[in-house]
Amino acid sequence: MTQNPPDLRPDLARPRLDDTRRSDQPTIGMVSLGCPKALVDSERILTRLRAEGYGISADYSGADAVIVNTCGFLDSAKAESLEAIGEALAENGRVIVTGCLGAEPAYITGTHPRVLAVTGPHQYEQVLDAVHAAVPPAPDPFVDLLPASGVKLTPRHYSYLKISEGCNHKCKFCIIPDMRGRLQSRPAHAVLREAEKLVEGGVRELLVISQDTSAYGLDRRHDSLPWKDGEVRSHILDLSRELGRLGAWVRLHYVYPYPHVRELIPLMADPENGLLPYLDIPFQHAHPDTLKRMARPAAAARTLDEIAAWRAACPDLALRSTFIVGYPGETEAEFQTLLDWLDEAQLDRVGCFTYENVAGARSNDLPGQVPEEVKQERWQRFMEKAQAISAEKLAAKVGTFQDVIVDDIDGEGIATCRTRADAPEIDGCLFIDADTADLSVGDIVTVEVDEAGDYDLWGRRRAGL
In the shown chain, the binding pattern of residues 209 to 228 toward ligand SF4, with x for contact by CB under 6 A and - for none, equals --xx----------------
Nearer to ligand SF4, 33 or 171 (CB): 171
Between 117 and 176, name the residue whose CB sits nearer to ligand SF4.
Answer: 176
Q: What single letter denotes the amino acid at residue 452?
A: A
The dihedral sign for the CA sequence 4, 5, 8, 9: positive
Quickly count: other Cβ atoms within 10 Å of residue 417's Cβ: 26
Judged by CB under 6 A, which of 169, 381, 397, 460 binds ligand SF4? Answer: 169
Cα–Cα distance for residue pair 349/427, rounded to 1 Å: 7
- Identity (one letter) of the amino acid at 320? R
Distance CA 183, CA 216 (A): 8
Beta bridge partners of 31: 68
For ligand SF4, which stretch binds (CB under 6 A), given 6-14, 114-122, 168-176, 415-423? Answer: 168-176
- Report the nearest approach of ligand SF4 to the CB of residue 171 (Å): 3
Span of 163-171, 303-311, 317-325, 360-368 interacting with ligand SF4 by CB under 6 A: 163-171
Task: Report the amino acid identity of residue 122.
Answer: H
Choosing from 38, 77, 174, 192, the residue that interacts with ligand SF4 (CB under 6 A) is: 174
> Residue 168 to residues 164, 183, 221, 361: CA-CA distances in angstroms?
12, 6, 14, 15
* DSSP conformational letter for 455: S
The reply to whether 171 sits near ligand SF4 by the rule CB under 6 A is: yes
Q: Of 42 and 363, which has the nearer Cβ to ligand SF4?
A: 363
Residue 162 CB, shortest distance to ligand SF4, in Å, is 14
**Of 177, 181, 351, 442, which one interacts with ligand SF4 (CB under 6 A)?**
177
Q: Is 362 in the site for ligand SF4 (CB under 6 A)?
A: no
Nearer to ligand SF4, 174 or 405 (CB): 174
In the complex, minimum distance from the CB of residue 33 to ligand SF4, in angstroms, rounded to a whole number: 18
The three-class DSSP label of residue 239 is helix
Binding pattern for the stretch 297-316 against ligand SF4, x by CB under 6 A and - elsewhere: x-------------------
Hey, is 118 helix, strand or coil? strand
Which helix or strand (DSSP H or E) is residue 99 part of?
A: strand 95-99
Instruction: Decide: is 176 part of the binding site for ligand SF4 (CB under 6 A).
Output: yes
- Per CB under 6 A, the list member of 77, 85, 101, 167 interacting with ligand SF4 is 167
Stretch that binds ligand SF4, among 81-89, 162-170, 351-359, 413-421 (CB under 6 A): 162-170
Which residues are CB-neighbours of 228 under 8 A, at least 6 positions away?
Answer: none
| 265-280: b (≥16 Cβ within 10 Å) or e | bebbbeeebbbbbbbb
Asked if 255 touches ligand SF4 (CB under 6 A), the answer is: no
Contact present, 409 and 415 (Cβ < 8 Å): yes
Report the distance separating Cα 65 and Cα 41, nearest Å. Answer: 18
- Check residue 290 for interaction with ligand SF4 (CB under 6 A): no
Contact footprint for ligand SF4 (CB under 6 A): 167, 169-171, 174, 176-177, 211-212, 297
